[in-house]
Structure 1
């Protein structure tokens, strides 16, 4: 044993035009390493200048579309006891202690890499990035290169290490910038032709999947599966293949494959989470709840590739979303709180938390106190997250935080803050000076135009939208309260109208909201349905019921109309009436989600015999439903 002797470490890195990331990467390892071996494949930006500031040993290498060759060129120059391999868009976690890890003197160490996604989530995957020099380890594979650690002749020792690497390179904007998909697919197609190994086929499938070419991805995953059943990446292969099948809407096939995967890997949380997603998309909410609750019991996956949060905050948020759909807002609030306890920076959890406080009429003062408990705003990250979410949910608290911290924000955020704080004149003043209006800002501008009766603002909001002349005429008719021109309204226009109505409710603009109702009532049934969905979601089922009953005779053959009326009756605790309406809907079409609602009403009424009959009918009609077979 080397005792307390420090092990020397070489950082080996290959680069091309990495000025955006390189300094962060080199800063993260500065106190851990003894030398930087940097192999440049043709940089034309400030990459080499940054590397020189860290005394890197720079060499130039002609790129030959072979990552393994470039990696091997870098590691052969290393002179230290151990080699650490990073990419420029990666960085070492600040809590890492490499010397403590290396006390065991293993030949190679598997460490965790956290890949950040544009969605705000992250995927963990294990990889060998820390290994002993001069032990015959070499990279293989022109792309998705990997070390020959499975070469039995080398007699290598190994362990999992408590090391975390952060990686930004999977974010959409970075991938698009580097055209990684196009480059990687071309290389991998050549690799597969030369060597159709399970690993090469898996990597090609994953590259197609990342480029949203799911059909092609599934083809290569299926070929890879037969060659990969004993490989460490098999769970990742199965997960990606099932998720691609799900994304194509082939839910029956996805259900069959995910059940087979769970049978083989019963404790791999990701499969149960994916099963929950499939159930949700089928409207099998009871089964989805069971799947997500099982995820929480299993917890997070430690040593294999995994989606961060499947055993904690992601599962809680999905449970919260289902609770919202069922009108169980207190439960949704509890789920959001549990998600935030796991990860306070998870945007969907914070959004759900704040939205449930708003929908349950918790006073602003209380909301502010809750937020202070979660976010002490001790750092910029806390404040940034709060501002983003408060902007998204249109909270009047946004203006309070802007005033408190004297923030200078984008005009669109300032406009939203004023608008939802009912400072309409100030919001109009800001809006009229906005030049580059984005599509994401148009709904708020249309709302402000409606409140201020401003044709100019409405015209400005129209510019980023690809509206037809007919659609623009329909929207103008609504904005001017001329329902006779609404006609057969398009979905984008209907969405804007319902958005305006919902925000008028939140802003407590009663007169303008009643004006909305008057206009919507004279529009088409599709608009009324969207409007009533919104009303029920916001617990204004009494208004929805009045609107739906007023036009019942005209729409009693419309299953969506009937289901909404049943939902309104349920929210008003008129359970017998709800049963009558739901059963009428089921006579028209046996939709699963309506059966589930009928079952839950019978349980609520303690009519267990009738509930049992419905449960048996569900099991007979919907073979993929699991809870009804128990």
Structure 2
């Protein structure tokens, strides 16, 4: 390369022919804007992925897989010569808006930051039309500080005995569809889950009260036969205030409340109460638990309590998007109910709760504020039912609302296919 690279982009892969070229093509604008090198490690591909990598990589090595993600990442770091390193997974692709990232790399001299976290957006479907989860992943590291990875699974940057400053790049997004197979229980997803859970169980044997390991097991092991036992033990360790319970308790209790609803666990109400009492200011509680608590109280016809949770949820979304809720919470886990589709579903359900409380005008106003482009077929059906209920059970004039809804759902946004489904 003519210039010493500002940025080394590290990618490990094995049998990623489905998505590897998409990932590498997405890096082209960044490579054109900033002096970069791409350093790749093949951990045993047999599907042609290596041929694809050879077309894009500046450095390509073989690194036999040894059940240790950190070891493979560090082998890549050893070959990097940039001032910074950006770690990207093969099933991710960089968003086209790279302005924040390039500005950071061009002007970082003299700043105290050693690490940088970017948004990873996890999709639940391959067509990316459903809901998604955002979290912050620390993927940038200053090479002058000698960064190393630690951890066989869910590896992390580590500087023993030293705190290093981290900055959040809130508008730099890595899109990720690697969990779709796990969400749909596909064969590739089952293999990935089995690999992850094996490594996590081994770590838990060494650290039986490690709340971070329990959080990762709750996130990775939904099909495990002892999954609910894992969940309950995680909650028990939070209740016993084990190390880092204040930091990891909110996402763990969020999962507990969500899964209690799905599995009809008797602890559901108790866990909602504990979450709200112990961590009232957490985004996981104000957004995710409030979303779940709304359904809990609605099922019991406790419309006042349901409406209060719905209002907390919508207010928290505003605060979150304005940066007034702690954004660093997403370094620990994704907030699950902040996607636009979830927000619109809550507005529709909350409007119906308002109707039951004889607050028909508030119901109408809330429905008028819907983002129709964010609706899918399912939420459109719920909207139609809410409109029908408002028309039949109140004296409110819904003619203007019905016209606005029709115009909104039939508009070709975000595309004609979605409008036709609605």
Q: How far did residue 84 of structure 1 move?
A: 1.0
Matched, 1:344 2:374: yes
2:136 to 121, 126, 129: 126
Tell whether the 8 Å contact from 2:6 to 2:82 is kept in structure 1 after alignment.
yes
Identify the residue that residue 48 of structure 1 maps to in structure 2.
50
**Greater percentage in helix:** 1
Tell whether the 8 Å contact from 1:184 to 1:207 is kept in structure 2 after alignment.
yes
1:286 to 296, 299, 304: 304
In the aligned structure 2, how far is the partner of 1:327 from the partner of 1:387?
A: 34
Higher mean C-alpha displacement, 54-63 vs 316-325: 316-325
Distance 1:210 1:297, change over 3 A: farther
Q: How far did residue 371 of structure 1 move?
A: 5.1
**Greater percentage in strand:** 2
In the aligned structure 2, how far is the partner of 1:87 from the partner of 1:147?
A: 15
What aligned pairs does 1:183-332 form with structure 2 within 5 A after superposition? 183-196=195-208, 197-209=210-222, 214-222=227-235, 224-225=237-238, 226-229=241-244, 232-249=247-264, 250=266, 251-263=268-280, 265=282, 268-300=286-318, 301=320, 303=327, 304=329, 305-307=334-336, 308-309=338-339, 312-320=343-351, 322=353
In the aligned structure 1, how far is the partner of 2:255 from the partner of 2:75?
A: 32
1:178 to 177, 189, 196: 189
In the aligned structure 1, how far is the partner of 2:140 from the partner of 2:52?
A: 24
2:68 to 66, 79, 84: 66
Distance 1:30 1:18, change over 3 A: same
Identify the residue that residue 563 of structure 1 maps to in structure 2.
none
Q: How far did residue 265 of structure 1 move?
A: 3.5
Distance 1:357 1:277, change over 3 A: closer
What aligned pairs does 1:533-572 form with structure 2 within 5 A after superposition? none
Q: How far did residue 238 of structure 1 move?
A: 2.3
Distance 1:285 1:210, change over 3 A: farther
Q: How far did residue 328 of structure 1 move?
A: 8.8
1:165 to 166, 170, 174: 174
Matched, 1:99 2:114: no
Q: How far did residue 232 of structure 1 move?
A: 4.6
Q: How far did residue 278 of structure 1 move?
A: 2.2
In the aligned structure 2, how far is the partner of 1:6 from the partner of 1:354?
A: 59
Identify the residue that residue 151 of structure 2 maps to in structure 1.
141
What aligned pairs does 1:388-399 form with structure 2 within 5 A after superposition? 388-389=421-422
What aligned pairs does 1:406-485 form with structure 2 within 5 A after superposition? none
Tell whether the 8 Å contact from 2:20 to 2:49 is kept in structure 1 after alignment.
yes
Q: Which has the larger radius of gyration?
A: 1
Identify the residue that residue 565 of structure 1 maps to in structure 2.
none
In the aligned structure 2, how far is the partner of 1:208 from the partner of 1:217?
A: 9
SS at match of 1:216: helix
Deviation sequence 1:416-474 (CA, Å, 0-9, x none): xxxxxxxxxxxxxxxxxxxxxxxxxxxxxxxxxxxxxxxxxxxxxxxxxxxxxxxxxxx
Q: How far did residue 336 of structure 1 move?
A: 4.5
In the aligned structure 2, how far is the partner of 1:92 from the partner of 1:228?
A: 35
Unaligned runs of 5+ in 1: 390-630
Deviation sequence 1:9-33 (CA, Å, 0-9, x none): 1111111111111122112222214
Tell whether the 8 Å contact from 2:120 to 2:174 is kept in structure 1 after alignment.
yes
In the aligned structure 2, how far is the partner of 1:212 from the partner of 1:289?
A: 36
Distance 1:87 1:224, change over 3 A: farther
Q: How far did residue 189 of structure 1 move?
A: 0.7
Deviation sequence 1:148-195 (CA, Å, 0-9, x none): 16x443x53321113222111222248642322222112211111123
Identify the residue that residue 164 of structure 2 maps to in structure 1.
156
In the aligned structure 2, how far is the partner of 1:375 from the partner of 1:78?
A: 51
TM-score where L is the length of structure 2: 0.77
Identify the residue that residue 114 of structure 1 maps to in structure 2.
121
Q: How far did residue 263 of structure 1 move?
A: 3.6
In the aligned structure 1, how far is the partner of 2:276 from the partner of 2:78?
A: 46
Identify the residue that residue 8 of structure 2 maps to in structure 1.
10
Deviation sequence 1:19-77 (CA, Å, 0-9, x none): 11112211222221412112111212131222222235221111111112122222222
In the aligned structure 2, how far is the partner of 1:371 from the partner of 1:62?
A: 57
Tell whether the 8 Å contact from 1:332 to 1:356 is kept in structure 2 after alignment.
no
Query: Taking CA–CA contacts closer than 8 Å with sequence separation of 6 or more, which of the two structures ends up with the larger relative contact order?
Result: 2
Deviation sequence 1:398-427 (CA, Å, 0-9, x none): xxxxxxxxxxxxxxxxxxxxxxxxxxxxxx
Q: How far did residue 290 of structure 1 move?
A: 1.2
2:412 to 365, 377, 380: 377
2:20 to 19, 22, 43: 22
Unaligned runs of 5+ in 2: none
In the aligned structure 2, how far is the partner of 1:220 from the partner of 1:386?
A: 45
In the aligned structure 2, how far is the partner of 1:256 from the partner of 1:216?
A: 21
